[in-house]
Amino acid sequence: MDFSGLIDNFGPLTVTGLAQGAIIALFALGYTLVYGVLRLINFAHSEVFLLGTYACLFAWGLFGLDQNSAAPAVGPMLLYMLVGLIAAIIVSGAAALTVEFVAYRPLRRRNAPPLAFLITAIGASLFISEVVGVATHRNQTGVPPIIQARPVFTIGDTTVTNLQILIILLALVMMFALDRFINGSRLGRGVRAVAQNPDSAALMGVNKSRVIALVFLLGGLMAGIAAVMYDLKIGVTRYDAGFLLGIDAFTAAVLGGIGNLRGALLGGLLLGVLQNYAAGVFGSQWLHAASFVLLVVILLFRPTGLLGESLGRARA
């Protein structure tokens, strides 16, 4: 235990924690959306994210890019970023919808018990992870240096890079857009109605199946964006990349209040910072262990999370 490591590196740990937390927050939105509507923990969401990390790598590979490529100029960099985001969004969104149509919808039609959904979610997660593992021979895959991290400004001994700013701003923008969509659009009102009372929503003419598909799609889109940011920040991916980050994202969703969109953002940013502080005190090997400890503490003392409101309420 070394508190001097935390004190000496407080600024850098905070900034890197916010960038990591922004990725976790985008990831956590998928958990909180599905739980808010279905009261289901979609464990397969971590593999939806995983497929997004490989989708953007495949897209960049079509341009002949690999981990040994030189960093591109601004123009090509913007093109590669756009192509990578589109590829990850499409693949993650399609994967999320496939999980809903193939795994969960048949169970709902049969009025299956909650345990069946839980077992199916775990099975779908393991299946996708193992398929990716076999396809990649369980090897790490390097990420092309699409964005070269460069210092933008310095405050004291804390240097903030262009990549950190991009990740944090993108998470905030996507969170704002999703919040406005859920609270201000006709489709969003349908999501909130089903989350609050699915039977009453059906009587009002809301198509529950369509709303559930929309929720899975939105979660997949957010996971795809998070996947690209993860690739750029970490620099490698592998078949089990979604597992540990999935635990972090689930912890963030519970921390903020699972079923609460703004809670997912708050929980993700807070968890990223707390993880880095724990790493500064106990060492980097305890980074993810801090998530497990925090998850247990939250479930014991504040199971509703910091904000604790459901998706069906006014402040979703």
Give the pLDDT confidence of 40-58 residue by residue, as tens digits. 999 999 999 999 999 999 9
Q: Stretch 210-231: mean pLDDT, rounded? A: 96
**Burial class (CB within 10 angstroms; exposed 0-12, middle 13-18, buried 19+) of 205:** exposed
- Does 8 reside within a domain? no
Q: Are 251 and 155 in contact (CB under 8 A)?
A: no
> pTM for this one?
0.93
**Which pLDDT does position 312 carry in this prediction?**
54
Angle at which helices 10-38 and 45-61 cross, to 10°: 120
- Does 142 reside within a domain? yes
Q: Which of these ranges, 75-84, 135-144, 306-315, has the smallest mean pLDDT? A: 306-315
CA distance 200 to 135: 45
CA distance 212 to 33: 9
- Examine the pLDDT at 311 and tell me if it is beyond 80: no
**Which pLDDT does position 303 carry in this prediction?**
85
Highest mean pLDDT among 21-25, 151-155, 298-302: 21-25
CA distance 48 to 296: 25
Q: Stretch 147-167: mean pLDDT, rounded? A: 92
CA distance 22 to 32: 15
Q: Stretch 27-41: mean pLDDT, rounded? A: 92
Q: Stretch 115-130: mean pLDDT, rounded? A: 94
pLDDT band at 310 (very low <50, low <70, confident <90, very high): low
Q: Are 230 and 223 in contact (CB under 8 A)?
A: no
* C-alpha distance from residue 123 to each of 38, 129, 246 (Å): 18, 10, 15
pLDDT band at 142 (very low <50, low <70, confident <90, very high): very high
- Does 281 reside within a domain? no
Q: Count the domains in the chain.
A: 1
State the average pLDDT for the chain. Answer: 91
Q: Are 72 and 146 in contact (CB under 8 A)?
A: yes
- Examine the pLDDT at 20 and tell me if it is beyond 60: yes
- Does 301 reside within a domain? no
- Examine the pLDDT at 309 and tell me if it is beyond 90: no
CA distance 295 to 309: 18
- Examine the pLDDT at 112 and tell me if it is beyond 70: yes
Outline where the chain has alpha helix (H). 3-8, 10-38, 45-61, 74-99, 105-109, 114-135, 162-184, 186-196, 198-203, 208-234, 241-256, 261-282, 289-301
- Examine the pLDDT at 212 and tell me if it is beyond 70: yes
Tell me: the pLDDT tens digits for 232-290? 999 999 999 999 899 999 999 999 998 889 999 999 999 999 999 998 888 888 888 88
Q: Are 114 and 38 in contact (CB under 8 A)?
A: no
Range of the domain at 37: 29-243
Highest mean pLDDT among 2-6, 69-73, 76-80, 284-288: 76-80
CA distance 242 to 230: 10
Residue 239, C-beta contacts closer than 8 angstroms, at least 6 positions apart = 50, 129, 130, 132, 133, 136, 138
CA distance 47 to 246: 9
pLDDT band at 316 (very low <50, low <70, confident <90, very high): very low
CA distance 55 to 85: 9
Q: Are 155 and 11 in contact (CB under 8 A)?
A: yes
Q: Stretch 77-95: mean pLDDT, rounded? A: 96
- Does 182 reside within a domain? yes
Percent of the chain with pLDDT over 90: 74
- Examine the pLDDT at 201 and tell me if it is beyond 60: yes
**Which pLDDT does position 258 carry in this prediction?**
85
- Does 105 reside within a domain? yes
* C-alpha distance from residue 39 to each of 13, 177, 312 (Å): 35, 23, 12
- Does 61 reside within a domain? yes
**Which pLDDT does position 188 carry in this prediction?**
93
pLDDT band at 315 (very low <50, low <70, confident <90, very high): very low
- Does 304 reside within a domain? no
Q: Are 192 and 260 in contact (CB under 8 A)?
A: no
